């Protein structure tokens, strides 16, 4: 059994990750931790995850539980994630990162750190979304420059980063499909007299409202027709289930930085 440590074990995602880890036949929910000042420190991780008492108390730091697990799953906040990745690299502890909002600098550092530990990093762990990434790129390549590409994403009002990491990854994938660089053609807001849309731009627009778990739609709009591809997440369990799959997979890999494409065998599609 692979022993799993859950970062942010008492948070919304942390609890669902704990649940999905417990449901996975090859994983054991060995430990979890929160900030030292969290009111959840000391509570049973199994009860927080909704699987019943496991006799495992939530700790107040990674250091307190580092020796208890083989892999750490982190969906917290980009600054905390990078701090944890540095510690995991030092401990040579495998890691699964689903945190969004990581900067280019963060990802560059993560690639360097992964020389010392195996790590899966993805802006979205859901199986369906990773299939969408591949499909979106292929469709963009098939339709080519004659179609305008727009991406609209919607999330709950508590989400801190915008656009979502998933929307940005979609933007990168469709840009690759038509031979463009998202950093050069991405448009993230439109207001006022902005003039006509250019042929090369790729729009990414954001909605934040209510308790929307996550929705992403890619629009391919041509003369007289449009094609829409949409993924809707109905619960956080999709992300947590993918994280559990990644945790079971990554512990058997050599040091390096991987994505869910590697986990799911989609890399060459």
Shared domain check, 131 and 106: no
Domain range for residue 185?
Answer: 127-233
Q: What CATH number corresponds to the domain at position 175?
A: 3.30.360.10
Domain contains 211: yes
Q: What pLDDT, on the 0 to 100 scale, is given for residue 267?
A: 84
Backbone dihedral angles phi then psi of residue 36, each to the nearest 5 degrees: -60, -30
User: In the block, which residue shows the tokens 């980009």?
Assistant: 78
Query: How far apart, in whole angstroms, are the C-alpha atoms of residue 243 and residue 75?
Result: 9
Does residue 117 share a domain with residue 11?
yes
User: Do 81 and 160 belong together in one domain?
Assistant: no
pTM: 0.89
Helices 165-177 + 127-143 axis angle, to 10:
30
The answer to whether residues 208 and 240 belong to one domain is: no
How do residues 163-182 score in pLDDT, each as one tens digit? 999 999 999 999 999 999 99
Do 110 and 131 fall into the same domain? no
* CATH number where 115 lies: 3.40.50.720
Tens of pLDDT, residues 9-63: 999 999 999 999 999 999 999 999 999 999 999 999 999 999 999 999 999 999 9
pLDDT score for 204: 98
Please indicate, yes or no, whether residues 240 and 116 belong to a single structural domain of this protein.
yes
117 and 85 together in one domain: yes
Please check whether residues 10 and 110 belong to one and the same domain: yes
Under DSSP, is residue 91 helix (H, G, I), strand (E, B) or coil? helix
Angstrom distances, CA of residue 39 to CA of 28, 53, 61, 64, 132: 24, 18, 13, 17, 39
Specify if 269 maps to a domain. Answer: no
Residue 205 and residue 172 share a domain: yes
Query: CA dihedral in degrees (33, 95, 260, 21; nearest 10)?
Result: -40
Decide if 240 is inside a domain.
yes
89 contacts 68 by C-beta, under 8 angstroms: no
**134 and 85 both lie in a single domain:** no
246/229 same-domain check: no
Residues 89-127: pLDDT tens digits? 999 999 999 998 899 999 999 999 999 999 999 989 999
Q: How many independent structural domains does the chain possess?
A: 2
Enzyme catalytic residues: 155, 159
């Amino acid at each position: 059994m692979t022993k799993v440590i859950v970062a942010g074990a008492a948070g919304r995602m942390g609890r669902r990750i704990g649940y999905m880890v417990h449901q996975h036949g090859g994983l054991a929910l060995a430990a979890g931790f929160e900030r030292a000042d969290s009111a959840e420190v000391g509570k049973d991780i199994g009860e927080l995850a909704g699987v019943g008492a496991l006799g495992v108390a939530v700790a107040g730091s990674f250091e307190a539980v580092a020796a208890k697990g083989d892999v750490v799953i982190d969906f917290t906040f980009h600054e905390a994630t990078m701090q944890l990745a540095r510690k995991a690299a030092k401990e040579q502890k495998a890691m699964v990162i689903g945190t969004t909002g990581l900067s280019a600098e963060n990802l560059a550092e993560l690639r360097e750190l992964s020389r010392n530990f195996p790590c899966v990093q993805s802006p979205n762990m859901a199986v369906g979304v990773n299939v969408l990434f591949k499909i979106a790129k292929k469709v963009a390549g098939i339709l080519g420059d004659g179609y305008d590409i727009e991406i609209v994403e919607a999330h709950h009002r508590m989400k801190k980063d915008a656009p979502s990491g998933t929307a940005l990854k979609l933007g990168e994938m469709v840009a690759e499909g038509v031979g463009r660089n998202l950093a050069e053609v991405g448009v993230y807001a439109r207001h006022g007299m902005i003039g006509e849309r250019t042929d090369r731009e790729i729009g990414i627009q954001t909605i934040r409202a209510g308790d929307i778990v996550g929705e992403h739609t890619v629009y391919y709009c041509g003369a007289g027709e449009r094609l829409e591809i949409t993924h809707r997440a109905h619960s956080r369990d999709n992300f947590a289930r993918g994280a559990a799959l990644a945790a079971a997979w990554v512990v058997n890999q050599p040091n390096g930085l991987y994505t869910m494409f590697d986990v799911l065998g989609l890399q060459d599609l």
